[in-house]
Structure 1
Amino acid sequence: MEQEKEEANSRKRKEAPNSSASATERDGPPSDVQDREPQAKKARLSTILFTDNCEVTHRQLCELLKYAVLGKSAAPKPSWCQLSHQKQLNNVVVFILKGMSQLHFYRFYLEFRFLRKTFRHKFSLPPPTSSFLFDIIGLQKKKSARSFPRTVEGPLISATVRSSIDLQNDPIIQKYGYKNVGLTRCLLTKEEMKTFHFPLPGSPSYENFILTKYTGFISDSSPLFGLDCEVCLTSMGKELTRISLVTEGGYCLIDELVKPDLKVLDYLTSFTGITKEILNPVTTKLKDVQKLLRELLPPDAVLVGHCLDLDLRVLKMIHPYVIDTSLLYVGKQGRRFKLTFLAKVILGKDIQCPNKLGRDGIEDARTALELVQYFLKYGPKKIAEFNLEALAANQEQGDKEGAAHMSVLKCLESMGQKLLFLTQDIDELSSYRNCQTIKCSSNKKVLEQARVEVPLFPFNIVEFSFQPFPPLFAEKMKNSMKTKWTQMSTVYAGPFSKDCNVGALKKVFSTLGPVQSITLVLETYRPYFSIQYEVLEAAQLAVETMNGSLLEGSCIRVHRLVTELTLECDTLVRELEQDSENQGTIYVAGIGETFKEHLLEQSNLFPDLEAVILPKEVKSRKQKNYCFLTLFGRTLA
């Protein structure tokens, strides 16, 4: 292994001036090259942290790969990240570790140090499907002869009239019945608004939201207003950049660009059509829009939109009378169809045309209004007869078939280039003429071939295969790791006096990090407490700072309980601290809700700050009272 490393390092030194740049490699040339010539521009990947999103989809990964390989002339820029100096990329390499599980990762954690030092960015992906290889290059997996027949193409809006038995199971019929309904029946209930995260009065999450001048009186003749908002991404998340409001007759009441309060990180131009140059002269702010809406909307106004909860949250306004077309035209198991799909199927018109830059907010607002008016005019039975589920399935099939014409392979073929696929399994991509597949006898051979062949191809997929753990061993190892991690995050403190204040103790230990539980140890003569933290960093801080301190009138010891699973706990903690993955990251506990604002105001104190990670509760989405600060190459104590 050491010999292989030395050979790799020697090869890297020889090839350094002409070596290819990976999108995830650390920036900066070797020191000897830097001394001899000015630093050249290198491709650099930067991302915007989404605290609400835990993973990157296969579609988003494909976006990045296509843009990295083909550039903006043949592929759109990815919407979720930024790749600077794409032209400086000579090739792109995708490593697939087939059969590797989380258990492999934990078992061989310390052996991944080199990879974690080389690659700055890590992203989670959903569980891979059988067609994962085809997904990441934008291809549909070929079906066998015994698979389902292809759907005959036809007009999307040709509705199929189903039998009354089928209609009974339609979610729209189950919710509204067969007969026509009035406007008030289409309004979302308070329970539905709460379920779908609409701003509601009295909710602690929306204390600073502005209320419209609504009344308690609403009727089937109340006026409808179509609403649509466009957003950008700032350091505080999504902020309003444009608002469109139209009346029932389609007349536009408001179509305003809005200047965000904070610095814009991403204008989302591909979705909104809004750029920095467009927003520069704008003076309208969010408070101006809120004031205007309060003035224009009558007390019994009904707001109509598609995924309207997002619009109201970005407006920071509360209005209780809403109709959401994504919930009005609901599919099975609560499926929410896209506005473009409903416009095509129900109204027979195309919106958000791909040849236009960004969406037209007025068009989207009018479309949502027309969908509600159609529903009120023709009734639930007419909508159910469209068989939206079948039409959506047909459209998805067509989209997948169309994706083959826009795949990375097709684009490479048009440029006279090929994709390289190295594997020791069946060559799944060998049937494609511009895919060079090399089958190897082992993972070692895959690596050897990759070193030779990768520089010759613009796009490479290198697949290593691992034998899965036996199920019994995997379950035992999983439970062992869970137990070990729990014990490493638990400290024992004492002895205390018998009349010590448990609440005060918890408050003190909570300053070091979030406490999951604090339990009295009953097996000791004098009171000891077991404090279990949610994160390992907090337990380590407690051991290092609280041991030997005077608390509640007692000089206490703080340490971990020694068991078979924690005999080498301190060694492992030191390894984790020195790990390249944790270098440049510090843990901050006891922060408040306004911490992010204070950090932004005092940004000059953190010139090397790369990212602020603010974890949230999985269910409540409430921000936790600790965070992680990632810095470029430096660690602040």
Structure 2
Amino acid sequence: MEQETEAVPRKRKEADSALATELGRPPWDLEDKQPKAKKARLSTILFPETCEVTHRQLCELLKYAVLGKSTVPKPSWCQLLHPNHLSSVVIFILKGMSQLHFYKFYLEFRFLRKTFKHKFSLPPPTSDFLFDIIGLQKKKSTRGFPRTIEGPLMSAVLKSSTNLQNDPIIQKYGCEKVGLTRCLLTKEEMKTFHFPLEGSPNCENFILTKCDGSITDSSPLFGLDCEMCLTSKGRELTHISLVAEGGHCIMDELVKPDFKILNYLTSFSGITKKILNPVTTKLKDVQKLLRKLLPPDAVLVGHSLDSDLRVLQMIHPYVIDTSLLYAGKQGRRFKLRFLAKVILGKDMQCPDKVGHDTIEDARTTLELTRYFLKNGPKKIAELNLEALASHEELKAASQEPGNKGGPTECPNMSVLECLDSVGQKLLFLTRDIDELSSSRNCQTIRCSSNKEVLEQARVEVPLFPFNIVQFSFKPFSPILAEEMKKRMKTKWTEMSTVYAGPFIKNCNIEAVKKMFNSLGPVESITLVLETYMPHFCIQYEVLEAAQLAIETMNGILVEDSYIRVHRPVTEFTLECDILVHELEQDSENQGIIYVAGLGETFKEHLLDQSSLFPGLEAVILPKDVKSRKQKNYCFLKFKTRDNAQVALEIFKGKDWKLKGRHALTPRHLQAWLKDIHPEPATPSGLQIVPPLLEKHVFQTLKENHAKIVAWRCNQRIERLYHSLSPGTLCLILLPGTKNTFGSHPGLGLMKIKEEENDTPGLGV
């Protein structure tokens, strides 16, 4: 389900609150622009459908919180106002927990869901989650050379022999030369790095190349590079170059986007309005030509090739990505310009030239791949790319105009290094410390239990500007996790299903369908055959529609028959009323209403009447993925819950034939449920059989224990949160889990604590 977000123009005297409409950077939660005392404030983008924030994006926010806008760029996915007015940063990590835990034990996490308005999905964790977001390394890892090494000392370091066995390229490929097929990304790697694949979310309409699987070490290589602009849909293709293995460019096309261009991104793409105006080539033309040019055994080569394939809306399973082929420690990805200089000895992407040369970039990736195949991994490892990159960053920082020795952020600088550059220290409280290497600006305290972590945090956290408080939990067994995930899908399906009847025997079935479809998109509607009078089972796409059917149609007269509308009574729906009430009170749903029964002109009509709806900030319009047509419902986002309630009353009083209620389903929950497969993803050869009674009882006991753990964790965080000073940026991270059976995405929650008069909760 695609979602389009529209701005709502103001007709009053306040500052204009027009919102961006592109998918890649949707509207901000707008802030009141009246003069106020400066304090740190946080607002997030209305996420696209996946609602996922990567570990790199999370790192962006934390670095910005440490250094501020004077030295680092603003985060791309959220807005932190006045970061210099933050009093501290506290990150709670619930190690071993995932998004599955949060929604399985939603009622137990009462404080978290009611306090933290901003929630987002996290990808499944890599092998070193703490390094990804902070820069804390495991003991087995060896740190790169200190950034303070300069002059003759740096020269000596670069010439010294390195421990090749610790080099990630050697660890992956060995020391001997490898063939082309060994350099291809595996399907699992392509999934990890978000390459478009058959069956992947949001890739339903992508075009497949003519690949037939006949890949060998002598298959032809083709360098690919694309440039794009920002449109009302997101990023769209504007320029593509395809270079054959011999270096000859066989395709170089400018492309006219399908949607309105908001930003040409000229500094990167080199594209301007004047250049693109006469172009008539469209994306579908490029797709057709690529399928014609690429042979069945073609191997595509590029740098961060996933973004090129996504903007092309094409799937090709045989790729070599030079950013991953030459990856550094902890997955560090070097820039193409850097690799070209230190490996090939060529300068490219000259700073005095506007935009990148796509032919040059594509040709360079081919040269880098051929160099790797010709010289082997050992030759690459001996270059010590990590030390060279650090040296280049230091050199660039020292040459930056106006640099007077203050803290300067390097592109690959970690949060830990940012703290070090401003003379601050990190406090890390955890039960798991043996696996971590020490750092001069990290004070690590090992605790014997989660309870001791809490006790130490209450004493130590006020003394440090940046804190990580890690609680550790035993993750669910893979089989139990998959079974619980399947049950969650069933639970949500049953909660979104209603039974309606009785109807008269000769009732107008089409009229019944139309009546229920007016409340929201219907997944299926079936006639119940086990009843004397006709009844219908209606399964809705969204929970709000089912709840609206119960609230507005139960007891109404339909063709001389009073019908009853209710949910099926199963183990999954016994406490449904409690859960619905709690979902409505979720802080993320405050100020958002669901409206059903939209016509084609609703958007324009609403914008014309926007003065009737004070506080209206955004309109979220879901679209059908295949047909691209707007669905018959939307979500309206208001500044406050009171504004939302006023809007609902207005809809009731007007003859717009609309029905609405407060929102129930957080958007990242919808995205997560959509990705849950109906069958557990277990390895081949392993079967899950119906458990024996004893096993079922044991499983129930484990779930009950996990429920108590979740409740206790919620209480501990609440107790510590109330002791934090106002102006503290507080993040809760459930990192997710990953094992050979499959992966479970994580969940993040964040908030800047404000002044409060509440008394602390009775934590344990």
Where on the TM-score scale, by shorter chain, does this alignment land: which range?
0.5 to 0.7
1:488 Cα deviation after fit: 1.9
Report whether the alignment pairs 1:406 with 2:413: yes
Q: TM-score w.r.t. structure 1 length?
A: 0.63
Match of 2:80 in 1: 83
Partner of 2:491: 484
1:572 corresponds to 2:579: yes
Tell me the amino acid that sits aligned with residue 590 of structure 2.
Answer: Q
The answer to whether the 8 A contact 1:492-1:531 is kept is yes
**Who is 2:543 aligned against?**
536
RMSD: 5.8
Matches within 5 A, 1:462-611: 462-469=469-476, 478=485, 480-551=487-558, 554-591=561-598, 608-611=615-618
Match of 2:165 in 1: 149
C-alpha deviation, 1:97, in angstroms? 1.0
CA deviation string 1:464-491 (max 9, x = no partner): 2234456776566555544433322111
Q: Which residue of 89, 100, 107 corresponds with 2:97?
A: 100
Change (3 A) 1:45 1:152: closer
Distance 2:578 2:168 in 1: 64
Please tell me whether residue 420 in structure 1 is matched to residue 423 in structure 2: no
| Cα distance between partner residues in 1 of 2:452 and 2:523 | 48
Q: Which amino acid aligns with 2:357?
A: E
Aligned-residue sequence identity (percent) comes to 60
- Taking the aligned partners of 2:165 and 2:301, their CA distance within structure 1 comes to 38
Distance 2:30 2:56 in 1: 25
Which residue in the other structure is 2:697 paired with? none
> Post-superposition shift, 1:390?
8.8
**Could you tell me whether the CA contact under 8 Å between 2:305 and 2:321 is conserved in 1?**
no
Q: Partner of 1:67: helix, strand, or coil?
A: helix
Deviations 1:232-266 (A, max 9, x none): 3x6543478x879999999xx999999x95777xx
Distance 2:70 2:45 in 1: 24
Correspondence 1:307-318 to 2 at 5 A? none
1:453 aligned onto 2:460? yes
1:436 aligns to what SS in structure 2? Answer: strand
2:134 is matched by which residue type in structure 1? I
Q: Secondary structure at the match of 2:589?
A: coil
Deviations 1:371-421 (A, max 9, x none): 78x89xxxx9x6894489999999998499959982222232232220011
The 1:424/1:292 distance shift into structure 2, 3 A limit, reads closer
Deviation string, structure 1 residues 346-386 (Cα, Å, up to 9, x no partner): 97534457xx59x94352344337878x89xxxx9x68944
For residues 378 and 505 of structure 2, the distance between their equivalents in structure 1, rounded to whole angstroms, comes to: 69
Counterpart residue number, 1:133: 130
Moved more, 514-523 or 427-436: 427-436
CA distance in 2, matches of 1:481, 1:26: 34
Instruction: State how far apart, in whole Å, the 1-side matches of 2:599 and 2:73 are.
Output: 39
* C-alpha distance after superposition, 1:303-328 (max 9, x if no partner): 99979998899899xxxxx9x9x999
Structure 1 residues 285 and 350 mapped into 2: Cα distance closer, same or farther (>3 Å)? Answer: closer
Task: Look up the match of 1:62.
Answer: 59
Residues 492 and 529 of structure 1 are in contact (CA less than 8 Å); yes or no, is this contact kept in structure 2?
yes
Deviation at 1:76, TM superposition (A): 3.1
Aligned CA distance change for structure 1 residues 563 and 396 (closer, same or farther; 3 Å): farther
The one of 44, 50, 54 equivalent to 2:41 is 44
Deviates more, 1:88-97 or 1:391-400: 391-400
> Does the aligned pair in 2 maintain the 1:491–1:559 contact within 8 Å?
yes
Q: How does 1:278-357 map to 2 (within 5 A)?
A: 290=280, 330=320, 340=336, 349-352=346-349
Change in CA separation of 1:148 and 1:531 when aligned onto 2, cut-off 3 Å? farther
Aligned-partner SS, 2:552: helix
Which residue, 446, 450, 453 being the options, matches 1:443? 450
The answer to whether the Cα contact below 8 Å between 2:30 and 2:617 also exists between their aligned partners in 1 is: no
Shift of 1:345: 9.3
Equivalent residues, number: 522
1:116 counterpart = 2:106: no
Shift of 1:499: 3.8
Relative to structure 1, the CA distance from residue 470 to residue 131 in structure 2 (aligned partners, 3 Å threshold; closer, same or farther) is closer
> Is the deviation greater in 96-105 or in 306-315?
306-315
Partners of 2:478 and 2:364 lie apart in 1 by 55
Q: CA separation in 1, counterparts of 2:282 and 2:483?
A: 62
Take 1:161 and 1:98, find their aligned partners in 2: how far apart are those partners?
Answer: 39
Greater CA drift, 107-116 or 536-545: 107-116
Distance 2:377 2:508 in 1: 60
SS at match of 1:123: strand
For residue 684 of structure 2, what is the aligned residue in structure 1? none
C-alpha distance in structure 2 between counterparts of 1:308 and 1:150, whole Å: 27
Task: Report if the CA contact (8 A) 2:139-2:437 is conserved.
Answer: no
8 Å CA contact 2:40, 2:83 repeated in 1: yes
1:160–1:308 Cα change, 3 Å? closer
Q: 2:606 & 2:507 partners in 1: Cα distance?
A: 37
What do residues 207-234 of structure 1 show as CA deviations (whole Å, max 9, x unaligned)? xxxxxxxxxxxxxxxxxxx9954423x6
- Of 363, 387, 391 in structure 1, the residue corresponding to residue 357 of structure 2 is 363
- Structure 1 pair 340–588 and aligned structure 2 pair: CA distance change class (3 A): farther
The 2-side partners of 1:557 and 1:440 are apart by 57
Residue 229 of structure 2, aligned match among 203, 217, 231: 231
Query: Structure 2 CA distance, aligned partners of 1:558 and 1:107?
Result: 27
Structure of higher RCO (CA pairs closer than 8 Å, 6+ residues apart): 2
Cα separation, partners in 2 of 1:347 and 1:99, compared to 1, 3 Å: closer
For residues 500 and 519 of structure 1, the distance between their equivalents in structure 2, rounded to whole angstroms, comes to 14
SS of the residue corresponding to residue 57 of structure 2 reads helix
| SS at structure 2 position matched to 1:78 | coil
Cα offset for 1:592? 7.0
What secondary structure, in the 3-state scheme, does the structure 2 residue paired with 1:531 have?
strand
Map of 2:691 onto structure 1: none
* Cα distance in 1 for residues equivalent to 2:248 and 2:609: 50
Distance apart, 1:522 and its partner CA:
1.8
Give the counterpart letter for 2:113 in structure 1.
R
The one-letter code matched in structure 1 to 2:72 is: A
| Equivalent residue letter for 1:568 | E
Partner Cα distance (2:377, 2:633) in 1: 44
1-structure distance, mates of 2:384, 2:502:
65
Query: Does structure 1 conserve the Cα–Cα contact (< 8 Å) formed by 2:138 and 2:437?
Result: no
Gaps of 5+ in 1: 1-23, 29-33, 173-193, 201-225, 294-298, 317-321
Q: Give the Cα separation in 2 of the matches to 1:124 and 1:490.
A: 26
Q: Secondary structure at the match of 1:548?
A: coil
Q: Distance between the aligned counterparts of 1:387 and 1:619, measured in 2? A: 47
Amino acid at match of 1:528: H
Q: Is the 8 A contact 1:69 1:458 kept in 2?
A: no
C-alpha offsets along residues 149-171 of structure 1, whole Å, 9 cap, x if unaligned?
123999xxxx9965xxx457676
Instruction: Name the aligned partner's letter for residue 151 of structure 1.
Output: D
The equivalences for 1:255-274 within 5 A come to 261=260, 272=268
